[in-house]
């Protein structure tokens, strides 16, 4: 297989996000209890997009937060936190259904750190995980509730997500092998 390989083009990214939003709406009949929290940095733009689609589906505002997990990671002895991004959760997650959003689910360690960071802010009623790509190779028992695309990968491969908000080339998900 030639690298890089395009896994999702712009249309496929849009369809995946629409599908994820509709699955979230189906699972959560009472949308007024749902809040969205994007994991810095990869989940931020995806969380923004999901929020917009869910607001159309439910016809009401959906609170949005952003969380940085750098200080909650369990690998500080291997690497120091770099490029710490702001955490902004302008609501109390206590009693809410929090949909955590990230671009790629890999080992599960970022999600574990996000769970720690989130529970430092309050005690949600439930936490659900939405990811654009699940690439397997889990090190922790973490599973996404909503997945745009599952792509089994080797440890040598990388999944690169480019979104129009960050990259003028537009939306794409590629499989890269160094």
pLDDT band at 178, cuts 50/70/90? confident
* Selected residue with higher pLDDT from 88 and 65: 65
pTM listed for this prediction = 0.92
- The CATH number that domain 5-72+86-176 falls under is 3.40.50.2020
Mean pLDDT of 106-135: 96
Extents of the domains making up the chain: 5-72+86-176
The pLDDT of residue 70: 80
3-state SS string for the chain: CCCCEEEECHHHHHHHHHHHHHHHHHHCCCHHHEEEEEECCCCHHHHHHHHHHHHHHHCCCCCEEEECCHHHCCCCCCCCCCCCCCCECCCCCCCCEEEEEEEEECCCHHHHHHHHHHHHHCCCCEEEEEEEEECCCCCCCCCCCEEEEECCCCCCCEEEEECCCCCCCCCEEEEECC
The pLDDT of residue 113: 93
Mean pLDDT of 25-49: 94
The pLDDT of residue 90: 93
Mean pLDDT of 48-68: 97
Per-residue model confidence as pLDDT tens digits over 74-88: 665 565 556 777 788
* Selected residue with higher pLDDT from 76 and 141: 141
128 pLDDT higher than 60:
yes
């Amino acid at each position: 297989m030639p690298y890089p390989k395009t896994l999702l083009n712009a249309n496929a990214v849009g369809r995946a996000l629409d599908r994820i939003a509709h699955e979230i709406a189906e699972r959560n009949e009472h949308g007024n209890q749902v809040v969205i929290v994007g994991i810095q940095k990869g989940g931020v733009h995806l969380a923004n997009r999901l929020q917009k689609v869910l607001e159309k589906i439910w016809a009401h505002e959906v609170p949005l937060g952003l969380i940085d997990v750098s200080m909650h990671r369990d690998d500080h002895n291997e690497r120091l936190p770099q490029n710490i991004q702001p955490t902004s959760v302008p609501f109390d997650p206590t009693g809410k259904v929090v949909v955590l959003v990230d671009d790629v689910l890999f080992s599960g360690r970022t999600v574990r750190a996000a769970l720690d960071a989130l529970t430092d802010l309050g005690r949600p009623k439930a936490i659900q995980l939405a990811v654009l790509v699940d690439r397997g190779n889990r090190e922790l028992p973490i599973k996404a509730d909503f997945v745009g695309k599952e792509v089994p990968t080797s440890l040598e491969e990388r999944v690169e997500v480019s979104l129009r908000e960050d990259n003028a080339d537009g939306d794409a998900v590629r499989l890269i092998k160094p």
